[in-house]
């Protein structure tokens, strides 16, 4: 027992050797001992309720050992332990960080979730209801260092569990069981639905730069993608019975893909997959029905603008995101040239648009990939009009054409070295490596050596190649450039903004004209018609056949069986 008090007697008779701390020790007074004995003798029934011990936490790990082995070179990719009609298991034993932790991710592929906005809302409500049902149960898990999430991803339903590996399977089993057996109560359904209604409403009131990418995604997806307004419109008609029925349909036929990474062995990964399969008992989802990830391919020379008025009447900040299509995401040459351009122009773009022109506090640029296409975007949030902001992006690109032409070989090679160093930067922890692996699994390219291959390609790039690439895809004078701009228009005006923009426009008028791309952009008024006029890409193609990732021990066992 330790008693701490600000009032102390001060009559210390001893001093600690090293720090000189004064103290004294004495026998516990008899009267205090008697009180302690009485308290100890009180039966549990008569004990003060406030003095109870907490219940046993089943998630506190018992085993924190890590079997560390000498590894010449850590593996770059996970292995496939199981690959059949019902499930696929990816696994990598941690060979870098040696911590008693693991990440388990389960993807339940189904075409139903994105078949309609209504289905998407039902799936979202279902995932929210699962988390709500597990709130009390998962509290102990969280205290013991375990986390979980149930949500939607581009291919269906998504579940991940992470933390200390010893009791991780216990939490995984309970989450999957709850997904299967979820008993939706009327009162909880109404609360969760109301919460989602508020969430959709609040989403439309957030900062414009948080919203703009949502519309860019929507305009690049051939189908199976919905904006918040479409989802919110479905919510009032969704019923408890409808969600319950959809739950059975959704989980009744799926393809299970499991990724296990960390301090878990081969048999642990296979057991986790078997557990999910045994609990859900889904029918086989034929491969032909698996969702195919595609993107729309802008036509050469296209120039579109999509305008949307922000819902918040008090918001004074407009936003522009202008995206330039450069090619296929799987084209390493296209991707590395874009990455190198990002390395070269990111700082000059920020300096010009943010620091010198002071267009707004939110200014950034960088690569922007969709399911199968690749590009580069500029984003500005400002009190000035979207059209003016867009014209300043054009002016920067025209100016940068000369900057790139006049760049010395020494500076160019310096940018290449800096980019290579960034690409080959070591992963700092288990979670970062898991994220890298899972990203390649979900995008279905399985390019686990992406950084290493990109670095090798960057070494080969020449200044002439990058100038040609920039001239084709970014130069305002290019007839081959594909440009899509999203303008989010604020309803209100900031005080004094007209004068500031007028002064900025006068300065802009003194510069050489960047062209009339902003004025001549074709307006997207019918999104369905716009999408119908574009071709959809082929689906993602793996850099290696999936069988090349299979673990040879498992493959040999299968052959002998």
Are residues 324 and 481 in contact, defined by beta-carbon separation less than 8 angstroms? yes
d(CA 17, CA 365) in angstroms, rounded, equals 62
Are residues 307 and 489 in contact, defined by beta-carbon separation less than 8 angstroms? yes
Domain spanning 79-292: CATH superfamily: Metalloenzyme, LuxS/M16 peptidase-like (3.30.830.10)
Query: How far lies 502's CA from each of 305, 315, 441, 505, 558, in Å?
Result: 23, 21, 50, 5, 73
**Any idea where the domains of the chain sit in the sequence?**
79-292, 296-536
- Alpha-carbon dihedral angle through residues 513, 515, 518, 521, given to the nearest 10 degrees: 170
Alpha helices in 407-493 (DSSP H): 409-423, 430-442, 450-460, 463-473
Concatenate the DSSP letters of all residues of 294-360 into one string: --EEPPTT-EEEEEEE-S-TT---EEEEEEEEEEETT-HHHHHHHHHHHHHHHHHHHIIIIIIS---
β-pair type (482-489, 156-164) = unpaired
Concatenate the DSSP letters of all residues of 496-512 into one string: THHHHHHHHHHHHHTSP
β-pair type (522-523, 373-382) = unpaired
Q: What is the pLDDT of residue 42?
A: 85
CATH of range 296-536; options 3.40.50.10790, 3.30.830.10, 3.90.870.10, 3.40.720.10: 3.30.830.10
d(CA 255, CA 449) in angstroms, rounded, equals 26
Are residues 208 and 360 in contact, defined by beta-carbon separation less than 8 angstroms? no
- CA atoms within a 13 Å half-sphere pointing along the CA-CB vector of 40: 6
β-pair type (253-262, 87-93) = parallel
Q: What is the pLDDT of residue 555?
A: 44
CB atoms within 10 A of CB 290: 18
Q: What is the pLDDT of residue 44?
A: 77
CB atoms within 10 A of CB 313: 10
Are residues 156 and 291 in contact, defined by beta-carbon separation less than 8 angstroms? yes
d(CA 33, CA 39) in angstroms, rounded, equals 10
Taking each continuous run of H as one helix and of E as one strand, the counts in the chain are 19, 17
Q: What is the pLDDT of residue 25?
A: 83
Q: What is the pLDDT of residue 554?
A: 53
Evaluate whether 79-292 and 296-536 have a shared fold: yes
Q: What is the pLDDT along the chain (561 residues), one digit of tens a residue?
A: 677 777 776 778 888 888 888 888 888 889 988 988 888 888 877 877 777 778 899 999 999 999 999 889 999 999 999 999 999 999 999 999 999 999 999 999 999 999 999 999 999 999 999 999 999 999 999 999 999 999 998 889 999 999 999 999 999 999 999 999 999 999 999 999 999 999 999 999 999 999 999 999 999 999 878 999 999 999 999 999 999 999 999 999 999 999 999 999 999 999 999 999 999 999 999 999 999 999 999 999 999 999 999 999 999 999 999 999 999 999 999 999 999 999 999 999 999 999 999 999 999 999 999 999 999 999 999 999 999 999 999 999 999 999 999 999 999 999 999 999 999 999 999 999 999 999 999 999 999 999 999 999 999 999 999 999 999 999 999 999 999 999 999 999 999 999 999 999 999 999 998 999 999 999 999 999 999 999 999 999 999 999 999 987 654 444 334
Q: What is the pLDDT of residue 9?
A: 66
């Amino acid at each position: 027992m330790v008693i701490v008090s600000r009032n102390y007697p001060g009559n210390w008779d001893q001093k600690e050797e090293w720090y000189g701390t004064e103290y004294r020790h004495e026998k516990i007074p008899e009267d205090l001992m008697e009180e302690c004995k009485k308290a100890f003798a009180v039966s549990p029934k008569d004990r003060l309720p406030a003095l109870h011990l907490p219940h046993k936490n089943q998630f506190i790990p018992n085993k924190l050992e890590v079997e560390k082995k000498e590894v010449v070179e850590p593996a770059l990719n996970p292995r496939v332990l199981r690959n059949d009609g019902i499930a696929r298991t990816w696994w990598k034993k941690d060979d870098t960080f040696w911590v008693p932790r693991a990440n388990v991710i389960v993807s339940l592929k189904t075409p139903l979730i994105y078949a309609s906005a209504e289905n998407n809302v039902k799936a979202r409500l279902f995932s929210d209801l699962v988390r709500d049902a597990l709130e009390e149960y998962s509290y102990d898990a969280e205290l013991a260092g375990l986390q979980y999430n149930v949500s939607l991803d581009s291919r269906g339903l998504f579940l991940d569990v992470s933390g200390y590996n010893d009791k991780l399977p216990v939490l995984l089993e309970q989450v999957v069981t709850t997904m299967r057996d979820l008993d939706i109560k009327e009162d909880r359904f109404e609360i969760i639905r109301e919460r989602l209604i508020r969430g959709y409403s609040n989403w439309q009131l957030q900062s414009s730069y948080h919203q703009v990418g949502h519309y860019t995604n929507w305009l690049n997806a051939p189908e199976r993608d919905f904006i918040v307004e479409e989802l919110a419109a479905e919510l009032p008609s969704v019923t408890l019975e409808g969600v319950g029925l959809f739950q059975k349909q959704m989980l009744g036929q799926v393809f299970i893909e499991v990724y296990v990474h960390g301090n878990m062995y081969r048999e642990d990964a296979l057991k986790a997959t078997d557990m999910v399969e045994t609990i859900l008992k889904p029918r086989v989802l034929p491969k032909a029905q698996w969702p195919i990830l595609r993107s729309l391919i802008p036509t050469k020379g296209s120039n579109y603008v999509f305008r949307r008025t922000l819902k918040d009447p008090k918001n004074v900040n407009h936003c522009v995101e202008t995206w330039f299509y450069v090619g296929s995401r799987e084209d390493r040459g296209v991707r590395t040239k874009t990455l190198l351009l990002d390395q070269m122009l990111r700082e000059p773009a920020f300096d010009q648009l943010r620091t010198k022109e002071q267009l707004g506090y939110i200014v950034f640029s960088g690569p922007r990939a969709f399911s199968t296409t690749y590009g580069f975007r500029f984003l500005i949030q400002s009190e000035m009009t979207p059209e003016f902001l867009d014209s300043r992006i054009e002016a920067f690109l025209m100016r940068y054409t000369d900057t790139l032409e006049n760049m010395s070989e020494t500076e160019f090679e310096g940018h290449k070295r800096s980019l290579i160093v960034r690409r080959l930067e070591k992963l700092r922890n288990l979670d970062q490596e898991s994220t890298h692996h899972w990203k390649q699994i979900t995008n279905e390219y399985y390019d686990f050596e992406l950084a290493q291959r990109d670095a090798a390609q960057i070494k080969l790039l020449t200044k002439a190649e990058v100038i040609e690439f920039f001239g084709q895809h970014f130069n305002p004078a290019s007839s081959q450039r594909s440009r899509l701009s999203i303008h989010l228009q604020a309803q209100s005006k900031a005080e004094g903004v007209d004068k500031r923009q007028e002064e900025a426009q006068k300065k802009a008028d003194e510069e050489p004209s960047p062209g009339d791309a902003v004025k001549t952009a074709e307006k997207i008024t019918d999104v369905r018609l716009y999408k119908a006029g574009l071709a959809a890409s082929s689906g993602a193609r793996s850099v290696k056949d999936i069988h090349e990732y299979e673990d040879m021990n498992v493959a040999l066992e299968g052959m002998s069986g």
